[in-house]
Structure 1
Amino acid sequence: MELTDTDRARIRDAVATAEATTEGEIVVVLARRSDAYHDVGLHMAVLAMLLVLAATALWPGWLLAFHGWAEPWGDAPAPLFLLTTMAWVQAAVFLIVRYGCAWMPLRMALTPASTKARRVHARALLLFRAAAERRTVAATGVLLYLSLDEHRAELIAEAAIHDRVDQAVWGDALAALLIALKQDRPADGLVQAVGAIGQVLTEHFPTGDRQMNELPDRLIEL
C-alpha cells in the first residue's frame, strides 16, 4: 500500500484543481497508523492472565493433575504448591501474550474498533490544529486525514465551513475514500475524496477576488 511519486503528484494536482474554484484550502495528511497501541498489548496480557485464574476456578482439575504429575507419590497438594504453580502459569501466559502483541498486525487485530476510532479522531484533531486551523484569512481550512492501518479517515473543517456545511455532506467523500482503501487503492481514494470536497467548497465558498494559496497542496506523509 505504498504510494509512488506519481500517486503523490496526482494527489497534489487534485488539491490544486479543487482549490482553483473555491476560497477553501485543503490539507491532505496520510499516516501509517494513528497510535502505537502499546497499552492494548498490555491490557490483553493482563486479561489473558486473569482468564487463567477464571478458567482454574471453573475447571480446577488441571491444577490437581499437574500436582499428580509433579509429585506422583506426594500427599494432597499444599496451598503453597497450588499458589506457586498458578503464579508461574499466569506469568508465562502474560509474557506470551505480551510479546505476541509486539507483532503489530496482531496488536491491531486485537484493538477494539471504538479505540481505533477515538485515537484516529484525536490524531486528526491534533493535526488539524497544527496544520489547518487559523492558517487561512477566511477560516476556510479543511483537513483530510487517512490512517492506513486502522482503515479510517477523518475530515475536519474550520469554523466558517463547519457552520455552513452539514457534516453529513462529507459522508460521500469519506465513503469513496474508504472503499478505495479496502481495494488497496489509497491514492485513487484520496483523489476522489479531494474532488468531492472541492465540489462542496466551491458551492459554499466560490472563488472571489482573493486569489491566494495559503496552505500547501502536497500530500503530508507521517
Structure 2
Amino acid sequence: MARLLTQEDHDRVAAAITAAEARTSGEIYCIVAHSVATYRWIPVTLAAVAVLLTPLAVSLFAPDLHRWPLLGTDWTSGNLTAADADAAVKTGLRALSLLQIAVFVIVAALSWPHAVRLRLAPPPMRRHKVLHTARSQFLAQGLQQTRDRTGLMLFIAMAERQAVLIADQGIDSRVEQSVWDDTVVQLTKAAGAGQIVDGLVTAIGRCGDILAQHFPPESQPLNQLPNRVVEL
C-alpha cells in the first residue's frame, strides 16, 4: 500500500508533537488511515436487491420475455394445450433466471470499485466506522496507559474524509469535548484542501495550547508515547 505521507511530512508532524508536549504533561498521538473499512457488503447487497426487483421490472416493462427469439421457440399446437402452457412457463422461468443472474453480475461489478463503495456507503455508517476504528486504535496504541490518563489522539480517515479527536479520562474531566470542535473543523478543512500535514501541525499546536492550560509541563518530563504519526 502506498504511503500517504513522505518522510519529510513525518518529520514535521513529529517535531510539532515534540514542541506541543514541551508545554504540557499531556501526550499527543496522530494516526492517518487510508480507509477504515472495505464496504464489500455493498455490491452484494445492491446486486441482491436488484435481483429481487427484476421480476417486477420484467412484469412492467417486458411481459413477453419468454417469447424473446434469443431463447428460441418450439413447435406448439394451434390450440393452447396444457403442454403448451407448461412449456411457456418453463421458458419464462428460464429466461427470468438468466436475466437475474446477468443483473446480479452487472450490478455487483459496477459497484465493486472501492471509490464507488465509499460513495454508496451511508454517511452515518461511515461516521460509525471511523469512530469505532479511532477508539480501537486509541486502545491498541496504548493511549489509555499514560500515568495521569492524559493521552489525546488525532485520527484521520482519508478515504472517508473524516477526522476524529479522542481524549482520555484525565483530559475529559477538565476539558469539554466542545473545546476541541474548532480544532477538528480546521483540520478537516485543511485536509479537504489537500494540506493534510499543515492541518495536522496546526491542530497539534492548538491541542498543545489547550492542554498547557490544564496540564502544565512536569519538572522532569516523561515522554510516555512516541512522538510520531502512524499510517494505517
Which residue does 1:112 correspond to in 2? 122
Size of the alignment, in residue pairs?
220
Which residue does 1:95 correspond to in 2? 105
Distance 1:168 1:199 in 2: 15
Q: Secondary structure at the match of 1:35?
A: coil
Q: Contact 1:27/1:132 (CA < 8 Å) preserved in 2?
A: no
How far has the Cα of 1:68 moved from its partner?
4.0
Residues 68-79 of structure 1: matches in 2 within 5 Å? 68-70=68-70, 71=72, 78-79=88-89
Which residue does 2:36 correspond to in 1? 34
How far has the Cα of 1:65 moved from its partner?
4.8
Which stretch of the first structure deviates more once superposed, 78-87 or 164-173? 78-87
Residues 86-165 of structure 1: matches in 2 within 5 Å? 86-165=96-175
How far has the Cα of 1:48 moved from its partner?
2.2
Structure 1 unaligned runs (5+)?
none
Distance 1:173 1:209 in 2: 28
Q: Contact 1:30/1:145 (CA < 8 Å) preserved in 2?
A: yes
Alignment of 1:203 onto 2:213: yes
Q: Contact 1:34/1:123 (CA < 8 Å) preserved in 2?
A: yes
Which residue does 2:81 correspond to in 1? none
Distance 1:117 1:72 in 2: 54
Distance 2:170 2:55 in 1: 55
Which residue does 2:54 correspond to in 1? 52
How far has the Cα of 1:23 moved from its partner?
0.9
Q: Contact 1:135/1:215 (CA < 8 Å) preserved in 2?
A: no
How far has the Cα of 1:11 moved from its partner?
0.8
Q: Contact 2:28/2:152 (CA < 8 Å) preserved in 1?
A: yes
Q: Contact 2:65/2:95 (CA < 8 Å) preserved in 1?
A: no
How far has the Cα of 1:97 moved from its partner?
2.1
Letter in 2 for 1:218: R
**Residue 84 to residue 12, structure 1, CA distance change in 2 (3 Å):** same
How far has the Cα of 1:149 moved from its partner?
0.3
Distance 2:135 2:56 in 1: 40
How far has the Cα of 1:177 moved from its partner?
1.1
Distance 2:8 2:171 in 1: 31
Which residue does 1:3 correspond to in 2? 5
Residues 183-222 of structure 1: matches in 2 within 5 Å? 183-222=193-232
Give the structure with higher Rg (CA).
2
Question: Taking every aligned residue pair, what percent have the same amino acid on both sides?
Answer: 32
Q: TM-score of the superposition, structure 2-length normalised?
A: 0.86
How far has the Cα of 1:209 moved from its partner?
2.5
Structure 2 unaligned runs (5+)?
77-83
Alignment of 1:24 onto 2:34: no
Deviations 1:66-119 (A, max 9, x none): 624345686778222222222221211111222333311111111111111111
Which stretch of the first structure deviates more once superposed, 61-70 or 204-213? 61-70
How far has the Cα of 1:173 moved from its partner?
1.1
Q: Secondary structure at the match of 1:160?
A: helix
Distance 2:40 2:182 in 1: 33
Q: Contact 1:46/1:94 (CA < 8 Å) preserved in 2?
A: yes
